[in-house]
Amino acid sequence: MVLDTLGGSLRSALRKIASATRIDKPLVDEAVKEIQRALLQADVNVKLVMTLSNRIRDRALDEKPPAGMNPREHVINIVYQELINLVGKSSDVKLERQTIMLVGLQGSGKTTTAAKLATYFQRKGLRTAVICADTFRAGAYDQLKALCEKQGIFFYGEKGNTDAPAVAKRGLEAAKKYDVRIVDTAGRHALEADLIQEMEDIHAVVNADQKLLVMDAALGQQASDQARAFHDAVQITGVIITKLDGTAKGGGAMSAVAETKTSVAFIGVGETPSDLEKFEADRFISRLLGMGDIKTLIEKAQEIQADEEMDVESMMRGKFTLKDMYKQMEAMNKLGPLKQIMQMLPMGGLGLELSDKEYQATKDRLDKYRVVMDSMTDAELEDPKLITAARVKRISRGSGTPPELVKELLKSHQAMQKAIKGMRGGMGKMNMKRLMKKMGPAAGKM
């Protein structure tokens, strides 16, 4: 995965917050220190790291959690938001008719990215052309031509002609009828005056809608100087960070983006034409933190929690029907795919983490129970005591399941009911999962 090490360290910091008994200054300080270390190791600019940590610390200690969010979720959410701020907003390269100019040092990945971008737009249904305005490096023409031909993309270049602006101009003309026209340019091994001059000259004739700086993720702190120089020359509108698949760093390039006040448009995650991803700050950070889409997960987890508390209250008042049981098992199982987030949220602290196997087993059992219950009458579902041996036979026949399964279902229900009765009184509000956990073995083979 992209930036594995960074993700791992950040996740470990968040896990500490999630499992803390209370959110106080020492805890926040410790978590912030860990986040700082992780970001610095990934080459994020020191100044940015300091700004970020101060904001996290201040907000975590000062801000009240919004309704429905506990203090731990609140702090996790602050870290998440501030990390998104750090990588900046997502760039707005749209799916529309446009000219794109790629700039960057030699080896940064421009030519590969030109083919990747063309593939990206082509797959979105836009007619795409690529123009080779790299007249500096021998072999540039052949490299890009081959890449484009392989992808079935229109290519324009003039082998041997060294007048890059003129080639670019004729190329744009030749590709007039295409929706997206991508201009690949030359680089140099280092920032040199003649490179900047060449970019300014090409820029003057191309007049691109998007000027995207292509930067190697492994670049580290020099990324800022590069970004500034190219920005001064052509006013870059976005950045493409390449080779994020192969480095533990990447923070340097990210910082450079923040500094030039542009944004990341795409990230390169491999060498083939498909290894390009549109950059979305929130999704990128969620993934880095290993949470899938953390927002929906937090919401989902909260919903489930709310459901459960309600159910527990009604159960405490008396009845626990088969329907209740099914609902509880279902609620538990909904949490199965949320394992990752469960490790971070307070529920994770209950130690209730279904393994994939357990999850599947519960799911299979639920499916079977559903079939059995479909053959029961409403009265039976409300009051399983009505289910005599004769009725077991009827239900078994009706549902096409063995009578043992019907009996097992009833036994699970009895065990649960008994456990609930035993717990009633003295406990007040109780988390359903703790209850389920407690009677796990009694409640069938869940």
Which residues lie near ligand GDP (CB under 6 A)? 104, 106-112, 187, 214, 242-243, 245-246, 268-271, 275
Q: Indicate which of ligand GDP, Mg ion, none lies near residue 2 (CB less than 5 to 8 Å, by partner kind).
A: none
Q: What is the Cα–Cα distance from 154 to 247, expressed in whole angstroms?
A: 32
| 202 vs 331, beta carbon nearer Mg ion | 202
Q: Indicate which of ligand GDP, Mg ion, none lies near residue 170 (CB less than 5 to 8 Å, by partner kind).
A: none
Length of the chain: 446
Q: What is the dihedral of CA 400, 404, 407, 411, to 10 degrees?
A: -130
Segment interacting with Mg ion (CB under 5 A) among 102-110, 353-361, 372-380, 426-434: 102-110
Q: Indicate which of Mg ion, ligand GDP, none lies near residue 53 (CB less than 5 to 8 Å, by partner kind).
A: none
Q: Give the nearest distance from C-beta 112 to Mg ion in angstroms.
A: 8
Q: Indicate which of ligand GDP, Mg ion, none lies near residue 358 (CB less than 5 to 8 Å, by partner kind).
A: none
| 39 vs 219, beta carbon nearer Mg ion | 219
Q: Give the nearest distance from C-beta 214 to ligand GDP in angstroms.
A: 6
Q: Indicate which of ligand GDP, Mg ion, none lies near residue 73 (CB less than 5 to 8 Å, by partner kind).
A: none
Q: Give the nearest distance from C-beta 183 to ligand GDP in angstroms.
A: 12
| 184 vs 408, beta carbon nearer ligand GDP | 184
Q: Give the nearest distance from C-beta 164 to ligand GDP in angstroms.
A: 14
| 143 vs 340, beta carbon nearer Mg ion | 143
How many residues touch Mg ion under the rule CB under 5 A: the total is 2
Q: Indicate which of Mg ion, ligand GDP, none lies near residue 259 (CB less than 5 to 8 Å, by partner kind).
A: none
| 275 vs 308, beta carbon nearer ligand GDP | 275
Rg, the chain, Cα only: 30
Query: By CB under 5 A, is residue 108 in contact with Mg ion?
Result: no
Name residue, tokens 């949320």.
338
Residue 60 has phi, psi (to 5 degrees) of -65, -35
Q: Indicate which of ligand GDP, Mg ion, none lies near residue 104 (CB less than 5 to 8 Å, by partner kind).
A: ligand GDP
Q: Indicate which of Mg ion, ligand GDP, none lies near residue 362 (CB less than 5 to 8 Å, by partner kind).
A: none
Q: By Cβ distance, which residue is nearest to ligand GDP?
A: 268
Query: By CB under 5 A, is residue 112 in contact with Mg ion?
Result: no
Q: Indicate which of ligand GDP, Mg ion, none lies near residue 268 (CB less than 5 to 8 Å, by partner kind).
A: ligand GDP
| 164 vs 410, beta carbon nearer Mg ion | 164
Please report how the helices 403-423 and 356-374 are oriented relative to each other, as an axis angle in degrees rounded to 10. Answer: 110
Q: Give the nearest distance from C-beta 351 to ligand GDP in angstroms.
A: 40
| 135 vs 399, beta carbon nearer ligand GDP | 135
Q: Indicate which of Mg ion, ligand GDP, none lies near residue 293 (CB less than 5 to 8 Å, by partner kind).
A: none
Q: Give the nearest distance from C-beta 90 to ligand GDP in angstroms.
A: 18
* HEC secondary structure over the chain: CCCHHHHHHHHHHHHHHHHCCCCCHHHHHHHHHHHHHHHHHCCCCHHHHHHHHHHHHHHHHHCCCCCCCCHHHHHHHHHHHHHHHHHCCCCCCCCCCEEEEEECCCCCCHHHHHHHHHHHHHHCCCCEEEEEECCCCCCHHHHHHHHHHHHCCEEECCCCCCCHHHHHHHHHHHCCCCCEEEEEECCCCCCCHHHHHHHHHHHHHHCCCEEEEEEEHHHHHHHHHHHHHHHHHHCCCEEEEECHHHCCCCHHHHHHHHHHCCCEEEEECCCCCCCEEECCHHHHHHHHCCCCCHHHHHHHHHHHHHHHHHHHHHHHHCCCCHHHHHHHHHHHHHCHHHHHHHCCCHHHHHCCCCCHHHHHHHHHHHHHHHHHHHCCCHHHHHCHHHCCHHHHHHHHHHHCCCHHHHHHHHHHHHHHHHHHHHHCCCCCCCCHHHHHHHCCCCCCCC
Query: By CB under 5 A, is residue 111 in contact with Mg ion?
Result: yes
| 128 vs 185, beta carbon nearer Mg ion | 185
| 72 vs 110, beta carbon nearer ligand GDP | 110
**Which residues in this chain contact Mg ion in the complex, by CB under 5 A?**
110-111
